[in-house]
Amino acid sequence: MRNNPQITIPEIAVVVQTSESNVLQHTSKLQKQGIIRRVDGRKEGYWKVLI
């Protein structure tokens, strides 16, 4: 996410070789922990790594 903030959930799933639902669970958890944040929505947005 630091190297490619515009990466999508499906792209992350391919890179880490897991399911999209698994990526969604983990990204949601990371957002709740304040580690990452989605800026400007799903389609036009990007990921921001906060720590």
- Report the run of H or E that residue 14 belongs to, with start and end: helix 9-16
Query: Do 51 and 38 contact (CB within 8 A), yes or no?
Result: no
pLDDT per residue, tens digit, the chain (51 aa), is: 999 999 999 999 999 999 999 999 999 999 999 999 999 988 889 999 999
Please report the pLDDT score of residue 35 as a whole number.
97
> Which residue type does 3 have?
N
- CB neighbour list of residue 40: distance below 8 Å, 6 or more residues apart: 46
pLDDT attached to residue 43: 84
For residues 16 and 23, is the Cβ–Cβ distance under 8 A? yes
pTM (predicted TM-score):
0.85
